[in-house]
Amino acid sequence: MNPQKKVAFYTLGCKLNFSETSTIARSFQDEGFERVDFSEIADIYVINTCSVTDNADKKFKTIVKSALKHNENAFLIAVGCYAQLNPKELANVNGVDLVLGANEKFKVTNYLNELSKNEIAEVHSCEIEEVNFYEGSYSIGDRTRAFLKVQDGCDYKCTFCTIPLARGISRSDTLGNVLKNAKEISSKGIKEIVLTGVNIGDYGKGEFGNKKHEHTFLELVQELDKLKGIHRIRISSIEPNLLQKETIDFITGSNSFVPHFHIPLQSGSNHLLKIMKRRYLKEVYAKRVDQIKLNMPDACIGVDVIVGFPGETEELFLETYNFLNELDISYLHVFTYSERPNTEAIGMVDIVPKNIRNKRSKMLRGLSVKKRRAFYESQLNNELSVLFENENKSGYIYGFTENYVKVKTPWNPSLINTIHPIKLTEIDEDGLVRFLWIKEPVLA
């Protein structure tokens, strides 16, 4: 490949997508390409797509137009979940030259020829039943935290979700490879690793190409905790039915794992949870929250919730709102239900009008602000440690404590990717926490 060729990447969606984009980017660099920012002129633009919401679908076209403004002759490649689900739709977007599905995206450089614009986009996408291999991934160089993929695919059949259709069956990286990747990340000086996957609590299934569990998620956590040189390990998201008491107990006294959990709920109504085909009831969810807070009173707990699912009456929505209001949680990620093709939910009756969905979403976002504020207030006067990020935002540098309290201090590039002990003192007008240095940083 011509070493002068430049490639840029854009990622839609989740932390898992970020880890995979970074891995795909390294494959280009291994072939002699120079990676540049997506806002710069490049010969190739790679867009890693998402299928969770219709907003992600719509944004794809905007991103394509943005790339063509930088270079109208650039070669455009679409990969990822939406490329697997609807490859022909992406291929019909003006300017797209190549669409690669779930099996093909990690071999993207094999599909490059002369990089000349295609009148009709090439599509290489296998049937999802054929997606059964595992490709390990991790992100490096994009942030001060690294996203480490440990699992892919999902065997759950939630009625609203397209991910099993886009990523295939549940399968895991080998324990040995996860540990190897974690060591590589640590050797680069990265202080925090975030474990990611589609359903990471299912870790161990399909580890060696079979359906049985060779290891458990708890065993993964225990082995990672033994590694030297890793300061922090964070769990990105884990299903409540797969977060076992033994795992919570271990993390409570671990060397590296931080007191931060993100646990999808989706609804606080057992009636809706059953229609969604979730594998737990709200009582199980409440029990997990209670277990975490009993062990780790200062733990941060984030929640995913969907509003406007078919059949969500005002009464059922208020059941969710009140359930969340009473839970000792720290923030919400609110998703407004959007109809996704080929899901069971798209054929359901009792559709919630979009204006009602938006109203309910706004109410839950307001509750999230209230919950985050209350959590931050509970942390005032606590002594914690903060890992600083790498962006200058309006003259400030930001960072997160181990339990995910966001703080800021005047911009100082020497603080990037460093951890310092602090004492939280007050919440400012932006809802962030000011602090005092316990020990003034001595930096080169």
* CATH code, domain with 57: 3.40.50.12160
* Number of domains observed in the structure of the chain: 4
Determine the Cα–Cα distance for residues 265 and 284; give it in Å rounded to an integer: 10
Distance CA 75, CA 71 (A): 9
Residue 306 and residue 337: Cα distance in Å, rounded? Answer: 6
Assess if residue 444 is contained within a domain. Answer: no
**Could you tell me whether strands 6-11 and 44-49 are parallel, antiparallel, or unpaired per DSSP bridges?**
parallel
Beta bridge partners of 49: 80
Of 95, 128, 161, which one is at a domain's C-terminal end?
128
Helix (H) or strand (E) holding 294: helix 282-295
| 294 close to 347: Cβ distance less than 8 angstroms | no
Q: In terms of domains, do 303 and 415 share one? A: no
Same domain, 245 and 181: yes
Give domain status of residue 443, yes or no. no
Check if the beta carbon of residue 1 is closer than 8 Å to that of residue 32: yes
Question: Which residues lie across from 166 on neighbouring strands?
Answer: none
258, 279, 302 — which closes off a domain?
Answer: 258
**Domain boundary residue among 128, 149, 168?**
128
Considering the domain architecture, whether residues 407 and 368 belong to the same structural domain is answered as no
pLDDT of the chain, 444 residues: tens digit per residue: 455 799 999 999 888 999 999 999 999 999 999 999 999 999 999 999 998 766 766 789 999 999 999 999 999 999 999 999 999 999 999 999 999 998 899 999 999 877 778 888 999 987 777 777 788 999 987 678 999 999 999 999 999 999 999 999 999 999 999 999 999 999 999 999 999 999 999 999 988 777 778 899 999 999 999 999 899 999 999 999 999 999 999 999 999 999 999 999 999 999 999 999 999 999 999 999 999 999 999 999 999 999 999 999 999 999 999 999 999 999 999 999 999 989 999 999 999 999 999 999 999 999 999 999 999 999 999 999 999 999 899 999 999 999 999 999 999 999 999 999 999 999 998 899 999 999 888 654
- For residue 303, the SS3 value is strand
In sequence order, the β-bridge partners of residue 98 are 77, 122
Q: Rounded to whole angstroms, how far apart are CA atoms 108 and 96? A: 14
Residues 388 and 311 in one domain: no
Is this model's pTM higher than 0.95 or not?
Answer: no
List, in sequence order, the alpha helices (H) in 327-387: 354-379
Angle, helix 217-225 to helix 245-252, in steps of 10 degrees: 10
Domain that holds residue 145: 136-258
In a domain, 1, yes or no: no
- The phi-psi region of residue 378 (left if phi > 0; otherwise alpha if psi is between -120 and 50; otherwise beta) is alpha
Give me 363's structure tokens: 């109410």
| Gap between the Cα atoms of 431 and 333, Å rounded | 17
Instruction: Say if 417 falls within a structural domain.
Output: yes
